[in-house]
Chains A and B, each alone.
Chain A
């Protein structure tokens, strides 16, 4: 029987709890032993705050993650998945090619920088923009404009060791028991209904397995607020001012349509 579980904690709780767990050598050693060769080396030397995104982009969620990771006493790390497949029906992935912008008069708009059909089912690392440039290079350029400089690492090889996505959640979440904090919204855990099949059949059992084995849950802090208005939803997809201006200039330079929402 599926039972949704509460997983998100506050920044202060995460900070206090991680400090205790990181200083618990026995616990850390038990986790590292359980992970074996699947232990990610980035977690060995210092506690990490992680955002797991297929491709990093400096939307308004990035500064919140970056400064939030610092707040909980961790060094920010973005884990990416460049070998994942681009599918335009997935809103997160489509957002890499359909950028939200705010115009000078405050109006909201979108800019399509990618031909979605032409890139459908390509690896993210192979997707190209209408200008011909690599999609990931474009988002990295936006990172430079933003000024935020978290460590960024393409974790495709680690993820591919496990074959299917269903297999990597357990080792992935294990990294957040004593070595770091995951910044992510795992809404369906708390919905009270049966949740999505992925949440019900994969993520929840992975967390329950960890709890059964170690008596504690991974540390997860929300990346965005719950129950957002449409305006808030747009805001978290949108970009900080300097990045927003860069995108609008880029769109104008390349004659891309800026479509009002």
Chain B
């Protein structure tokens, strides 16, 4: 767990107040920028930012929440993606990019890609069943919602540094004084076991930042803890306008729905 056994996530009001203090501390910001050096994201230079970081940006309900939470906190919302990452059908977040959760009469899934064929392939290489790129499909969904955000692919940035365990320090430093990261960092899996990446990478990185700057990075939850299955489905599914468009698209292209039975 984290250094003082306190939840790393802040409430909206805590994050808003703390970021305002830290952003106005020029000395702190300069120190952070010096530490990050050439790995500093230029998008974080001119004002406080709220960041969502996903393999591919898609406007599901948690993204819709993110946009307004970022505004609440007083930040400009930014969406970074990692198109060079590998599609893994066992990873729920990645699987859902190819297997959409759709409300149509009832709760359904709809396979946009051949999950088996594209397993372990690069996100940016994946072609959907109708022929276009998976990335383009999700980006086209962004046009259906209240969003002027243009996703920025940070694959090059990660490759410049190396392994996730190497770039994570520079990644998290951006949230000490320049912005808020919207993400859920849950140290334990559902079965009670410790999450290896959090144990081996996230926690030591946060400790390192705390020791060096005396501060934690600012992180706000993107979806609630302890969700019911219905809630879990909700946060992966889409706002009504987007959902309706996907249903129409699926029907026009003979993509099939599969009913989901939630316990």
Is the beta-carbon distance between A12 and B240 smaller than 8 angstroms?
no
Residues of A within 8 A of B221 (CB): 12
Residues of B within 8 A of A235 (CB): 71
Contact with A along B1-32 (1 / 0, CB 8 A): 00000000101111010000000000000000
Is the beta-carbon distance between A68 and B65 smaller than 8 angstroms?
yes
* Contact A242/B241 with A64-B72, A67-B65 known, Cβ cut-off 8 Å: yes
* Contact A226/B13 with A60-B71, A63-B146, A67-B64 known, Cβ cut-off 8 Å: yes
Contact with A along B32-67 (1 / 0, CB 8 A): 000000000000000000000000000001001101
Residues of A within 8 A of B68 (CB): 60, 63-64, 67
Stretch from B92-100, B164-172, B223-231 forming part of the interface with A: B223-231
Residues of A within 8 A of B260 (CB): none
- Whole-angstrom CA separation of A60 from B64 in the bound complex: 11
Residues of B within 8 A of A11 (CB): 11-12, 224
Stretch from A69-77, A127-135, A193-201 forming part of the interface with B: A69-77
Interface SS of chain B: helix, strand, loop or mixed?
A: helix
* Contact A71/B71 with A225-B13, A242-B241 known, Cβ cut-off 8 Å: no
Is the beta-carbon distance between A147 and B241 smaller than 8 angstroms?
yes
Interface residues in A, total, Cβ within 8 A? 29
The answer to the question of B80 belonging to the interface, with a C-beta cut-off of 8 Å to chain A, is no
The answer to the question of B239 belonging to the interface, with a C-beta cut-off of 8 Å to chain A, is yes
The answer to the question of B201 belonging to the interface, with a C-beta cut-off of 8 Å to chain A, is no
Is the beta-carbon distance between A225 and B148 smaller than 8 angstroms?
no
The answer to the question of A241 belonging to the interface, with a C-beta cut-off of 8 Å to chain B, is yes
* Contact A225/B12 with A12-B225, A71-B65 known, Cβ cut-off 8 Å: yes
Is the beta-carbon distance between A63 and B64 smaller than 8 angstroms?
yes
Residues of A within 8 A of B74 (CB): 225, 229, 232
Q: Mind listing 5 A-B residue pairs with CB under 8 Å?
A: A11-B224, A63-B65, A67-B61, A73-B228, A241-B148
- Whole-angstrom CA separation of A12 from B220 in the bound complex: 11
Is the beta-carbon distance between B240 and A147 smaller than 8 angstroms?
yes
Is the beta-carbon distance between B224 and A71 smaller than 8 angstroms?
yes
Is the beta-carbon distance between A73 and B240 smaller than 8 angstroms?
no
The answer to the question of A15 belonging to the interface, with a C-beta cut-off of 8 Å to chain B, is yes
The answer to the question of A240 belonging to the interface, with a C-beta cut-off of 8 Å to chain B, is yes
